[in-house]
Amino acid sequence: MSQTTPHSPGLSRRTAVTGILTLAASASPALAISAASHDAALLQVVAAGLAAEAAHARLCAKWGSELNPPESVERQERILVDALSDSWDKAGVLHASTLAGLQAKARLALTSMCVNSAGIISPGNPEFIMWSLCRDLIEIPA
């Protein structure tokens, strides 16, 4: 079973997911905005992306150490990775107009970043400033 993110071969998926799941788990309050919200479409895309990320993490936790997992597991992994990747693209073209929308988009953006085993990106990494900005956005009280 592949343990890499769709955008960075060689990074342990389990390592990346460890740090991200903590942030993704906190998405529920921001995503609970009513359907009448200006960012309703964005919030739906983000919710779908975070759900795909969480499902992929569960799949990796169960099958990640298997050298030859069943083809059905490999197929499910591809579906989940594609769904997450699609959510990045869809969210990227949607404009966030509320704090909840910005925070949701930041949570989804974090799932695309290569974090270390502590769930962070170290200074000196080109993605550090974006990771830091996403974290700052998420921590603003709603």
List the domain range (segments joined by +) for residue 72. 13-139
What whole-number distance in Å separates Cα of residue 61 and Cα of residue 79?
Answer: 17
Could you tell me the end-to-end alpha-carbon distance of the chain, in angstroms, rounded to an integer?
39
Domain annotation covers residue 80 = yes
How would residue 119 be classed by pLDDT, with cut points 50, 70 and 90?
confident
Q: Is residue 107 part of a domain?
A: yes
Contact (CB, 8 A) for 104 and 39: yes
Question: Which of 142, 139, 128 lies closest to 23 in space, CA to CA?
Answer: 139
**Token pair recorded at residue 13:** 């998926």
User: Which pLDDT does position 35 carry in this prediction?
Assistant: 40
The verdict on residue 35 lying in a domain is: yes
Asked, for residue 7, whether it belongs to a domain, the answer is: no
86 or 1, which is more confident:
86
Average pLDDT of the chain is 82
What is the pLDDT confidence band of residue 140, given thresholds at 50, 70 and 90? very high
Q: Is the confidence at residue 15, as pLDDT, over 70? A: no
pLDDT of 20 higher than 60: no
2 lies in a domain?
no
- At residue 100, the pLDDT reads 93
Domains of the chain: total: 1
What's the rounded Cα separation, in Å, for the pair 42 and 36?
12
Confidence category of residue 117, pLDDT binned at 50, 70, 90: confident
Lookup result for tokens 């107009």:
97
Mean pLDDT of 15-20: 46
Please give the full DSSP string across 64-117, using - where no structure is assigned: TT-SS--HHHHHHHHHHHHHHHHHHHHHHHSPP-SHHHHHHHHHHHHTTS---T
Confidence band of 70 (pLDDT split at 50, 70, 90): very high
> 50 in a domain, yes or no?
yes
- The pLDDT, as a whole number, for residue 23 is 46
- Domain for residue 120, yes or no? yes
Q: Does a structural domain hold residue 111? A: yes
